[in-house]
Amino acid sequence: MRGSTTRPGSRHLLLAGAGIPGLSLALALRQAHGDALAVTVCDPGLAQAAVRQRGRAFAIAAGGRRMLERLGIWDGLGAAAAPITEMAISDSRLPDPVRPVFLTFAQTPRDADGPFAHMVEAEALVEALRAACEAAGVALEPVGIARATPDGDTIRATLADGRDLRTALLVAADGARSRLREAAGIGWVGWSYPQVGIVATVLHARPHGGRATEHFLPSGPFAILPLADGPQGHRSSIVWTERAADVDALLGGEPDAVLAEIERRFTPQLGQLALEQGPSAHPLAFGIARRFHGERLALLGDAAHVIHPIAGQGLNLGLADAAALAEAVTGALRLGLDPGAADVLVAYERARRFDTLAMAAATDGLNRLFSNDALPVRIARDLGLGLVDRLPGLKRFFVGEAAASRGTQPRLLRGEAL
């Protein structure tokens, strides 16, 4: 009977990649279906998955927080999550003695859902997800997938150690350079930015009070994002966008010289600075897969899309992917249908395509607008920021969009069970 799930592999899902979106999807499906659905995650770097994230932190919007709460992860993060209760946006040149703030967002008593975002340290989040997956019975395999071949009602995945697994659906969560996406012949539209993202954890003398700051400079944004206090004192994460041609000169000197460059861009309100972790440099790029699925293959997270970090929304898109795919797969399974069927994957793509394209276009446009020192452009954008700052309704709309609180969201992002 068409749609039957009695075939070998029909109650098995396989994921390639042990990043945050992949582990979140694996955990959500295992929690929803228990022993009725076998879930395997393959990643040759599984043992180092958390350590590789050391020194990184992500802004998790309210929708992502609700999802992690539903998965039972959030409360265990503790000090690894710090609320962002206020954001200030300025626009200036580096030598300017004053950096006027044109736009602020702040949590108000009307925000019943709490802060619109939290900064979460990536190492702790990956480790919490990995432990929860293991406890839920997800099979964690420290091996890669060499190739995958659709074979009728299943897809046969050959692991790097020679084993073959049959599965109803293979999820490629193996990053922006996804080998599974390329092997499936799914096209990629993208380009590299002439910019590099520099990440570091900074100690400072005064508390940040939950305030995030984004300085727009001609070379790109310089974001100061609040972290929980550590043993050495008050801490923030910086995400510093710089021209690629200047990075070696900025970061190639002695630690004191690197710290001096950070101080030139940092807000003076937080007092004396010191480096706790980093800096590390990462080339920036834009990319969107032409399709989010192939035959019995779904793309997840960076395998489907890569955007500029200017709005801190990259991981939130990946979590939304995981929530939407978990919902589509669960709907099929509960009807006794094939979770890897084309109509299930089309429904997943339909749920994610527009949101992804809209966010990608917005972040690309913002980067081009603000990484521009032409005087007429600066005047126009500063007037625009000032106008938004004077319209509370419009500010609440933007906060709702960033927090994934508007429109039709997958159930997990609404904090609901699958």
Nearest to 324 by CA among 410, 387, 256: 410
Residue 237 lies in a domain: no
Give the residue-averaged pLDDT of 126-130: 96
CATH number at residue 319: 3.50.50.60
HSE, side-chain direction, 13 A CA sphere, residue 377:
14
Give the pLDDT band of residue 394 (cuts 50, 70, 90). Answer: very low
**Sheet of 81-84, strands arranged across:** 57-61, 117-121, 81-84
Give the model confidence (pLDDT) of 22-78 as tens digits: 999 999 999 999 999 999 999 999 888 888 888 889 999 999 999 999 999 999 998
Residue 244 lies in a domain: no
Residue 410 and residue 327 in contact, taking contact as beta carbons nearer than 8 Å: yes
Whole-number CA gyration radius for the chain = 22
Give the residue-averaged pLDDT of 370-386: 64
Which pTM does this prediction carry?
Answer: 0.91
Given a cut of 70, is residue 399 above it in pLDDT?
no
Chain mean pLDDT for the chain? 88
66-94 as b/e: b if 16+ CB within 10 A = bbbebbebbeebeebbbbbbbbbbbbbee
Q: Number of folded domains in the chain?
A: 1
The pLDDT of residue 2 is 34
Between β-strands 86-91 and 101-106, what pairing exists: parallel, antiparallel or unpaired?
Answer: antiparallel
C-alpha span between 179 and 281 (Å, rounded): 24
Nearest to 23 by CA among 2, 53, 3, 1: 53
* Structural domain for 93, as ranges: 12-191+286-414
Residue 167 lies in a domain: yes
Residue 37 lies in a domain: yes
Residue 196 and residue 283 in contact, taking contact as beta carbons nearer than 8 Å: yes
Residue 196 and residue 183 in contact, taking contact as beta carbons nearer than 8 Å: no
Give the pLDDT band of residue 407 (cuts 50, 70, 90). Answer: low
Given a cut of 70, is residue 198 above it in pLDDT?
yes
Residue 245 lies in a domain: no
Residue 197 lies in a domain: no
The percent of residues in the chain predicted with pLDDT above 70, rounded, is 87
The beta-strand segments (E) located in 205-336 are 211-217, 220-230, 233-243, 273-289, 293-294, 297-299, 305-306
Residue 259 lies in a domain: no
User: Lowest-pLDDT range, 13-17, 176-180, 328-332, 406-410?
Assistant: 406-410
Residue 395 lies in a domain: yes
